[in-house]
């Protein structure tokens, strides 16, 4: 096992660091997944960004885009100096920082001509990396200046209060203890703690494994912390990753970080863990390492990059196919492949016709129009694209390539803006 002094800590820190062959695999169930009727009244918003700076573009679309997209020259494209991507809610997207620079969250909408409009701002002191919605009037976000979880009104985009997390578990000797992923399930909020030696960026450092705070959303009060030993950071950090992680019965799946280590650390594999429906604790018997199920992966390091649950026990994640030579390889070289995973039977198969990608840069997947969209960034082949697959299949095809705009940092389906 190689050791690096630079730890690649997954998608959350990647945002700070970045200012097809067919392989054999274990078979997986191909049962048809039902998503309901795809909507014909949706708008789409695409965030793309430079690989070396926060500069990028937001492009609005009246219909699902296709083909080779000349992002800078599309009439509905606007350039901004601070693109982070975000989460979508109703008819807007939340950018992780102010579009013109600085800490905060900013709402972005499309006008009647599908041109992006920079909207309201929620100020933060050191930034944040997660937004979650309970309903039309209550939402939550992280603020790296405080452990307390902030409450806001999604309709007005105004802060309305906070949840006292002063009794929540932290590691005092670590310089950073922040909630980098917030997930709402029914009347429970699960807040994933990222803890490390410095900020920003920092390596996850915990001798108790993954740490998740549990909150009662009926009273907005802290309940307790739960722990998963022998795992690193749980969840999918960084705001631009906004995909379903809860199954039909209410089981919450979390993809833990895994990855490279410091010399003094024991290597920890990236794995999928779960909090069963109706429970406020990790399932002690469930640990799924998708990379172990793909025989053509030669990598010793085991990483999950991105996670999406689509239904009937089926999900998607990126796995590492080849051992990186240096830590920077994981954010610069296409060493990963998208895999379709069966969370019940704990099997995995690579999605065919999808090239290798820089999974820690673009590990996002979406579920629109009765399909699954996989984001692929492969700078060696000038690809920054969406590949689309049917959940009943193990094959995907490119839908559009947006390489002229840089790296895809978010692709969102919104309620339609009237023309």
Q: What is the mean pLDDT of each run of 10 residues along the chain (419 residues)?
A: 36 38 36 39 95 94 97 98 92 95 96 97 91 95 95 97 98 92 95 83 82 97 96 71 86 86 65 97 97 96 91 96 87 95 98 95 91 96 97 97 96 87
- Give the pLDDT of residue 361: 86
Q: How far apart are CA 33 and CA 30, in angstroms?
A: 9
Element (H, E) at 40: none
The count of other CB atoms within 10 Å of the CB of residue 92 is 24
Taking the model in full, what pTM does it have?
Answer: 0.89
Cα 358 to the chain's mean position, in Å?
14
261-to-268, 314, 326, 329 alpha-carbon distances in Å: 8, 30, 12, 14
Q: How far apart are CA 407 and CA 51, in angstroms?
A: 6
Element (H, E) at 159: strand 158-163
- Give the pLDDT of residue 119: 97
- Give the pLDDT of residue 264: 45
Tokens of 197: 């030696």
- Give the pLDDT of residue 188: 97
Residues 241, 275 contacting (CB under 8 angstroms): no
Q: What is the DSSP letter of 251?
A: P
Which residues, other chains included, contact 220 with Cβ-Cβ below 8 Å and sequence gap of 6+?
151, 161, 163
Tokens of 204: 């996850």
Taking the CA of residue 29 as centre, how many other CA atoms within 13 Å lie in the half-sphere pointing to its CB? 13
Q: What is the DSSP letter of 90?
A: T
User: Reading across the β-sheet that carries 347-350, which strands appear in turn?
Assistant: 305-311, 314-320, 336-342, 347-350
Q: What is the CA radius of gyration of the chain?
A: 20
């Amino acid at each position: 096992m190689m050791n690096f002094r630079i730890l690649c800590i997954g998608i959350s820190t990647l945002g700070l660091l970045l200012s097809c062959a067919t392989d054999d695999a274990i078979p997986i169930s191909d049962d048809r997944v039902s998503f309901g009727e795809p909507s014909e009244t949706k708008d789409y918003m695409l965030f793309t960004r430079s690989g070396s700076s926060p500069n990028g573009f937001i492009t609005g679309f009246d219909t699902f885009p296709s083909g080779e997209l000349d992002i800078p020259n599309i009439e509905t494209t606007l350039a901004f100096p601070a693109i982070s991507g975000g989460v979508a809610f109703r008819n807007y997207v939340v950018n992780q920082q102010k579009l013109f620079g600085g800490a905060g969250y900013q709402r972005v909408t499309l006008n009647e001509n599908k041109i992006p409009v920079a909207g309201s701002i929620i100020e933060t002191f050191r930034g944040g990396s997660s937004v979650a919605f309970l309903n039309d009037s209550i939402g939550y976000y992280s603020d790296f200046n405080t452990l307390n979880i902030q409450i806001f009104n999604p309709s007005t985009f105004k802060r309305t209060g906070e949840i006292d997390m002063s009794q929540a578990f932290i590691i005092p000797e670590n310089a950073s203890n922040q909630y980098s992923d917030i997930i709402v399930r029914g009347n429970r909020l699960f807040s994933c703690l990222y803890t490390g030696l410095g900020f920003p960026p920092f390596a996850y450092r915990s001798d108790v494994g993954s740490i998740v705070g549990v909150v009662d959303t009926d009273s907005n009060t802290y309940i307790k912390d739960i722990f998963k030993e022998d795992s690193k950071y749980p969840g999918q950090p960084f705001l631009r990753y906004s995909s379903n992680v809860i199954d039909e019965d209410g089981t919450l799946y979390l993809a833990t970080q895994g990855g490279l280590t410091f010399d003094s650390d024991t290597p920890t594999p990236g794995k999928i863990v779960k909090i069963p429906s109706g429970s406020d604790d990790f399932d002690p018997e469930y640990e799924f390492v998708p990379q172990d199920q793909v025989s053509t992966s030669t990598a010793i390091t085991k990483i999950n990059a991105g996670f999406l649950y689509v239904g009937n026990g089926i999900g998607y994640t990126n796995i590492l196919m080849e051992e990186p030579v240096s830590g920077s390889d994981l954010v610069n070289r296409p060493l990963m492949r998208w895999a379709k995973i069966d969370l019940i039977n704990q099997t995995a198969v690579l999605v065919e016709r999808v090239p290798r990608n820089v999974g820690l840069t673009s590990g996002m997947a979406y579920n629109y129009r009765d399909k699954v969209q996989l984001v692929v960034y492969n700078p060696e082949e000038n690809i920054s694209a969406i590949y689309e697959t049917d959940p009943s299949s193990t094959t995907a095809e490119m839908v559009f390539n947006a390489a002229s705009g840089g790296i895809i940092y978010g692709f969102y389906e919104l309620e339609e803006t009237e023309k």
